[in-house]
Amino acid sequence: MTKLSVNINKIATLRNARGGNMPNVVQVARDIQNFGAHGITIHPRPDERHIRYQDAFDLKPVIHTEYNIEGNPIDEFLDMVLEIKPTQVTLVPDAVDALTSNAGWDTVKHKDYLVDIISECRKNGIRTSIFVDPSSTMIEGAANTGTDRIELYTEEFAHQFSLGNEKAIEPYTQCAVLANDLGLGINAGHDLSLENIRFFKENIPHLLEVSIGHALVCEAIYRGLEPVVKAYLKKLA
C-alpha cells in the first residue's frame, strides 16, 4: 500500500487567522494518525505564516507514525531538523516569499549543496527526499546526491488531469521507473486530491508515499476529516 502522509499546514493557517490555539495542530495530528494515516507532514517557512518552528518541536512527541518535515534547508531550518530528527526531511527549493512550492530542485546545478545537506541528515539518522520535477535529468542528478528518495512534484499532472488529459501521467511514470532503477524511493505530492489520487497511484510503479494537505483539508470541510482520511486510504490500498 502507498502510504498517506497528511500535511497539516492548512490547519495551522486556520489557527493563525484568529490567534490562540484553535484548531490545535497537535491534537489534529493525533486525530489524523488515529484515523489511519501513516504519517504527518509539515512545511515550516521562514515567516511562519502557517506552521511555526515551535509547532515542529511540539509535534515530535505525539507523532508515532512517520514525521516528515519539508522545507528549504536554510540554516535555521536545518538546525531545527537536526535537533528534532524526524523520520524524513524533504528538501524543497522554495523561495522565502513563495506562496507555495512551485518547482523542483535543479539537482545538477545544486549537486554539491545537496550532497552536503543530505550527508549531514543521513549521519543523524534522518531519511532524505528531494523535491523534483518529472525530468529524467533531474532524477539522475538526484541519484548522484546520495538522497534516499525523491518526491515527484505533481502540480502539472493534477492540472492536466483536471482538463481530461490522462497522458499527463506519462513523464511521471517514466521517471518513477528510472528512479527505482537507480535505487531511489519514490514519494509524490502537490495538488493530489480524491479526484486524481487513484489514477496517479495506479500509474506510478513503486510509489511509496504521497503527501497531501490542501486538497484534503478542503475536502474535509464538506465531508469531515475522518471520512476524508479514510477515503484516501481506500484509494491508495
Catalytic positions: 43, 70, 190
Q: Are 37 and 65 in contact (CB under 8 A)?
A: yes
Burial class from Cβ neighbours inside 10 Å (0-12, 13-18, 19+) for residue 167 reads: exposed
Which amino acid, 33?
Answer: Q
Q: Which three cell numbers stand for residue 28?
A: 489534529
205 vs 130: CA distance, rounded Å: 18
Residue with cell 509535534: 59
Question: Closest Cα to residue 162, out of 215, 114, 230?
Answer: 215
Q: Are 40 and 65 in contact (CB under 8 A)?
A: yes
Question: Closest Cα to residue 129, out of 70, 170, 174, 182?
Answer: 70
5 vs 187: CA distance, rounded Å: 10
Q: Are 21 and 15 in contact (CB under 8 A)?
A: yes
